[in-house]
């Protein structure tokens, strides 16, 4: 039996999501664009999921556009918004700790002569709204700030920042990557004051390759793909009805229990941190963070070595610094975490169903690893 503690990377699809996807592959397999009954049935499935997701954000279905995942949502949000509004206003303000799908898109926009101002957390690793407000001006077209950081679980004050910035500069488009917050925190489009919100299905027990972009009514986003003009022309391509059905089913299941799951995850995190405090050489890397993510450093033991040691005990976690093909993102350092701690960082990401017994096993294995792995 394995212990899966890597839920920020992906989650197991819930039974409801799997059943909905299977139905849309075996029974209701039509193309939503087809004019016959099979097409209409598929369209009804897409509409149902759109309504469920819209309700969960406190918005209306016309504001939800389905994509292939949050990477596409982030690309569409940033590229689509600056294509619509960035002819004269050429400055973008962003947090310096965004996921690669935002950060790499920002780099591409810099190559297209946009100026990107990246805001670092303060020395204590926390973000302050004033730093964003100070960076925005009449030349700013877009402000992008994630809600929960995927590596540390840090909670960024996106709502405070967007509200404050919109008071001074109502024309600035606000975008939030809410992938690690959605269905864990109550994400409401109006409270967040976001014009654009990116979501991913596979982080919330849906299926990989599926996501959505919320686009506030009245806000324009130009398409980044051309084709059959599905999704009101914003996202061409035949809708992935099975994955969209699964996305809706997962949200329908999770949305009513956000608060109780949040409390339960918080209790598990406290329990875990208490256990960790008894181990010499283990440092908790994040403060003010999501109950679902804990980033630790096992000082002197390289992340990958410890990760594979834990794997040999049937326990799955991530190396704490998101890396692609061995290249670290550098986000931990931006939060003020030392290079040494970043080298030995592990990310443990739980669900509300994670048990104390599973965390006990992890801590036992960590203790064992500290003893057995040479520095
Ligand atoms: N944004 C954040 C914060 C994430 O954690 C991820 C997934 O790792 C993504 C975006 C990309 O999501 P997807 O896998 O749906 O493209």
Mind listing the pLDDT tens digit for each residue in 309-343?
Answer: 999 999 999 997 666 555 677 899 999 999 999 99
Q: Is ligand 1 within 6 A of the CB of residue 239?
A: no
Nearest residue CA, atom 9 of ligand 1? 70
Tell how strand 173-177 and strand 315-316 pair up: unpaired
CA of residue 301 to ligand 1 center, whole Å: 27
Q: Is ligand 1 within 6 A of the CB of residue 7?
A: no
Measured in residues, the chain has a length of 375
Average pLDDT over residues 51-76: 98
CA of residue 203 to ligand 1 center, whole Å: 8
Quickly list H helices, the chain. Answer: 15-26, 37-57, 70-85, 100-111, 129-135, 158-168, 189-192, 241-254, 258-276, 303-312, 331-334, 339-343, 356-372
Query: In this structure, what are the phi and psi dihedrals at residue 86, rounded to the nearest 5 degrees?
Result: -100, 25
Percent of the chain scored above 70 by pLDDT?
98
How many other β-carbons are positioned within 10 Å of the β-carbon of residue 130?
11
3-state class (DSSP) for residue 79: helix
Which are the contacts of 206, defined by CB distance < 8 A and separation ≥ 6?
A: 13, 17, 243, 246, 247, 249, 250, 251
Better pLDDT: 368 or 288:
368
Q: Is ligand 1 within 6 A of the CB of residue 99?
A: yes
Which are the contacts of 276, defined by CB distance < 8 A and separation ≥ 6?
A: 282, 284, 296, 363
CA of residue 343 to ligand 1 center, whole Å: 22
Over 70: is that where the pLDDT of 273 sits? yes
Strand partners, 93: 117, 143
CA of residue 168 to ligand 1 center, whole Å: 30
d(CA 322, CA 207): 21
pLDDT computed for residue 322 by the predictor? 66
Q: Is ligand 1 within 6 A of the CB of residue 24?
A: no
Q: Is the pTM of this model over 0.95?
A: yes
- Give how far Cα 184 sits from Cα of 38, 259, 266, 309, Å: 35, 8, 11, 30
Nearest residue CA, atom 12 of ligand 1? 70
Q: Which of 26-40, 182-196, 270-284, 328-342 has the weakest average pLDDT?
A: 328-342
- The candidate with the shortest Cα–Cα distance to 253, out of 27, 3, 15, 1, is 15
Q: To the nearest whole number, what is the mean pLDDT of the chain?
A: 96
CA of residue 196 to ligand 1 center, whole Å: 15
Beta strands per DSSP E along 111-258: 115-119, 140-144, 173-177, 196-200, 211-215
Q: Is ligand 1 within 6 A of the CB of residue 180?
A: yes
Whether 174 and 165 have beta carbons less than 8 Å apart is answered as yes
Side-chain-facing half-sphere of 307: CA atoms under 13 Å = 18
Catalytic residues: 323
The 8-class DSSP code of residue 6 comes to B
pLDDT computed for residue 1 by the predictor? 85
Nearest ligand 1 atom, CA 322: 8
Average pLDDT over residues 122-146: 95
Sorting pLDDT into bands at 50, 70 and 90, what band is 125? confident
Q: Is ligand 1 within 6 A of the CB of residue 69?
A: yes
Q: Is ligand 1 within 6 A of the CB of residue 146?
A: yes
3-state class (DSSP) for residue 343: helix
3-state class (DSSP) for residue 269: helix
d(CA 205, CA 12): 5
Tell me the Cα Rg of the chain: 21
d(CA 225, CA 107): 20
CA of residue 34 to ligand 1 center, whole Å: 31
How many other β-carbons are positioned within 10 Å of the β-carbon of residue 375?
8
Residue to mutate (ligand 1; options 179, 184, 204; most atoms within 8 A of CB): 179
Nearest residue CA, atom 5 of ligand 1? 150
Over 90: is that where the pLDDT of 246 sits? yes
Whether 8 and 367 have beta carbons less than 8 Å apart is answered as no
Over 70: is that where the pLDDT of 63 sits? yes
d(CA 253, CA 238): 26
Nearest ligand 1 atom, CA 210: 15
pLDDT computed for residue 324 by the predictor? 57
């Amino acid at each position: 039996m394995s212990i899966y503690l890597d839920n920020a990377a992906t989650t197991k699809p819930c039974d409801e999501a799997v059943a909905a996807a299977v139905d849309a592959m075996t029974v209701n397999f039509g193309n939503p664009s087809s004019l016959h009954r099979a097409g209409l049935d598929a369209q009804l499935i897409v509409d149902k999921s759109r309504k469920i997701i819209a309700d969960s954000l406190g918005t209306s279905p016309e504001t939800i556009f389905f994509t292939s995942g949050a990477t596409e949502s982030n690309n569409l949000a940033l590229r689509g918004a600056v294509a619509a509004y960035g002819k004269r206003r050429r400055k973008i303000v962003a947090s310096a700790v965004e996921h690669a799908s935002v950060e790499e898109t920002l780099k591409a926009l810099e190559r297209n002569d946009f100026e990107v101002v990246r805001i670092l957390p303060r020395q204590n690793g926390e973000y302050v709204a004033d730093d964003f407000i100070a960076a925005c001006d009449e030349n700013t077209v877009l402000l992008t700030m994630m809600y929960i950081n995927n590596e540390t679980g840090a909670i960024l004050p996106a709502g405070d920042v967007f509200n404050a910035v919109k008071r001074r500069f109502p024309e600035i488009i606000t975008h939030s990557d809410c992938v690690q917050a959605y269905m864990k925190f109550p994400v409401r489009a109006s409270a967040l004051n976001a014009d654009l919100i990116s979501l991913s299905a596979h982080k919330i027990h849906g299926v990989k390759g599926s996501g959505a972009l919320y686009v506030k009514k009245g806000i324009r986003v130009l398409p980044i793909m051309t084709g059959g003009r599905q999704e009101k022309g914003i996202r061409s391509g035949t809708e992935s009805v099975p994955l969209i059905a699964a996305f809706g089913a997962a949200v329908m299941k999770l949305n009513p229990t956000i608060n109780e799951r949040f409390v339960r995850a918080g209790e598990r995190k406290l329990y875990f941190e208490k256990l960790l405090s008894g181990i010499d050489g283990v440092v908790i890397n994040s403060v003010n963070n999501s109950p679902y993510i804990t980033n630790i450093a096992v000082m002197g033991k390289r992340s990958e070595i410890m990760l594979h040691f834990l794997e040999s005990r049937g326990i799955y976690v991530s190396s704490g610094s998101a890396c692609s093909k061995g290249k670290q993102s550098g986000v931990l350092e931006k939060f003020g975490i030392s290079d040494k701690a970043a080298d030995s960082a592990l990310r443990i990401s739980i669900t509300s169903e994670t048990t104390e017994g599973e965390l006990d096993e992890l801590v036992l294995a960590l203790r064992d690893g500290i003893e057995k792995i040479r520095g």
